[in-house]
Amino acid sequence: MAKEKLKFKRKRFTPLTDSQWEVIEKIVDSGRKRKHSLRGVVNGILKITRTGTQWRNLEEKPTIYPAWESLYYWT
């Protein structure tokens, strides 16, 4: 079986744009007051799924995402 070349090549993960977040926010936001921003949680989960990194390796400086334990709870 021959390998097929992808038509596009993902260079790296990019966080959600404002227009993308507006669409997703309507689905996930219930209006409750939260400790962590939902946008940070969604971006963190998307980074995990796209890059395949380990949960504990998600931490960056400066911290963009909530703690990995919080993201793991949301999945």
Q: What is the pLDDT of residue 35?
A: 87
For tokens 């990194």, what's the residue? Answer: 53
Q: What is the pLDDT of residue 65?
A: 86
C-alpha angle 53-24-44 in degrees, rounded to nearest 5: 20
pLDDT digits (tens, 9 = 90+) for 40-74: 989 988 888 888 888 888 876 667 888 888 888 88
DSSP conformational letter for 56: G
pTM: 0.75
Burial (CB count within 10 angstroms: exposed 0-12, middle 13-18, buried 19+), residue 52: exposed
Q: Would you give the distance in Å from CA 25 to the centre of its chain?
A: 13
Q: Would you give the distance in Å from CA 41 to the centre of its chain?
A: 6
